[in-house]
Amino acid sequence: MNENEKVTNIFLSGVGGQGAILASNILAEVFLNSGYDVKKAEVHGMAQRGGEVTTHFRFGKKVYSPLIKHGDVDFLVSFELLEAIRYINWVKPEGRVIINNQMVFPPAVNLGLREYPKDVGETFKKYFKGNAYIINGQDIAKNLGSLQSANVVLVGALSSFFPGLKEELFLEAVKGLLASKLHDLNIKAFYEGKKAMERKD
């Protein structure tokens, strides 16, 4: 397969209610309007009730399968630490990882039966070196005034890997998919996410 036909695989993971679906909808608009074929598949059985949510997102000249092959992920974007490490084996060795620094305890952890994984960030740094980015999306969003916008912070962060995409397309998608009273907030969130990637830590 030549470079031209290459399909890029983005895997989003999180907990029901964190806005992973909205984030993938923004990506879909942007890549479609940039002339790519796009396919995406969500899994959210009973996710509104705090279960895991994943989205397979793929773009390229022509995309067949909506599902990404195990081990073929180019970008892992996770809204939560445990949901990031759960999919660590899906990422290609040279893949990139963006993780929101937030913990949401699953029932077994709440009940004190299991431990929440430690040092998720360190584990990712070990395997992906400089390609693992831990973002304080939660704090950034809180400072902007709404926890809900952490998902757009992550979209902003991811966008910095695609300098060829027009920034307006992201802004248009945010405006198209969110209620107008949320536009300003989320546009700020997008830029803050982008900025977070410039900081080296």
Partner 1 sequence: MKKQIMQGNAAIARAASDAGVKVAAAYPGTPSSEILRDIANTYPEIFSEWAPNEKVALEVASGASFAGARALACMKHVGLNVAADPLMTLAYTGVKGGLVILVADDPYSHSSQNEQDSRHWTRFGKVPMLEPGDSQECYDFVKIAFDLSEQFDSLVLVRSETRVSHSDTVVEFGERVEPAEPAGLDRKEWQKYVMVPMNVRAARIKVEERIRKLEAFADEFKHNKMELKDTKIGFISSGVTYNYTKEIFPEWSSLKLGMVWPLPKKMIAEFFEKVEKVVIVEELDPFFETEIRAMGYKPFRGKDVIPVMYELSPDIIEKALKGNEYREPETRVKPEDLPRRPPNLCAGCSHRPLFYALNRLGAFVFGDIGCYTLAAAPPLSAIHTTVCMGAGVAQAHGAMKALGKEALGKVCSVLGDSTFLHNGLTPLMDIVYNKGNATTIVVDNRITAMTGQQEHPGTGFTIKGEPTYMVDYEQIGRALGVKSIRNVDPYNIAETMEVLKEEMDKDEPSLVLCVDAPCVLLRREKKQFEYTLYAIDEDKCRGCKICLNINCPAISWHEGAGESTDGHKRKGTVRINPDQCVGCRVCQQLCKFESIKPVKKSQ
Among 8, 34, 41, 177, binds partner 1 (CB under 8 A): 41
Query: What is the rounded distance in angstroms from the CA atom of residue 144 to the CA atom of residue 188?
Result: 8
Q: Examine residue 46 and tell whether it contacts partner 1 (CB under 8 A).
A: yes
* Cα 92 to Cα 45, 137, 154, distances in angstroms: 27, 24, 20
Query: What is the rounded distance in angstroms from the CA atom of residue 101 to the CA atom of residue 121?
Result: 9
Query: What is the rounded distance in angstroms from the CA atom of residue 141 to the CA atom of residue 148?
Result: 7
Q: Examine residue 3 and tell whether it contacts partner 1 (CB under 8 A).
A: no
Minimum separation from the CB atom of position 198 to partner 1 (A): 28
Q: Examine residue 181 and tell whether it contacts partner 1 (CB under 8 A).
A: no
Q: Examine residue 161 and tell whether it contacts partner 1 (CB under 8 A).
A: no
In degrees and rounded to multiples of 5, residue 146 shows phi and psi of -155, 120
Minimum separation from the CB atom of position 97 to partner 1 (A): 11
Among 48, 119, 143, 145, binds partner 1 (CB under 8 A): 48
Question: Kind of pairing, strands 52-60 and 37-43?
Answer: antiparallel
Residue ranges in contact with partner 1 by CB under 8 A:
15-16, 25, 28-29, 32, 37-52, 63-72, 82-83, 85-86, 88-90, 92-93, 105-112, 114-117, 123, 127, 147
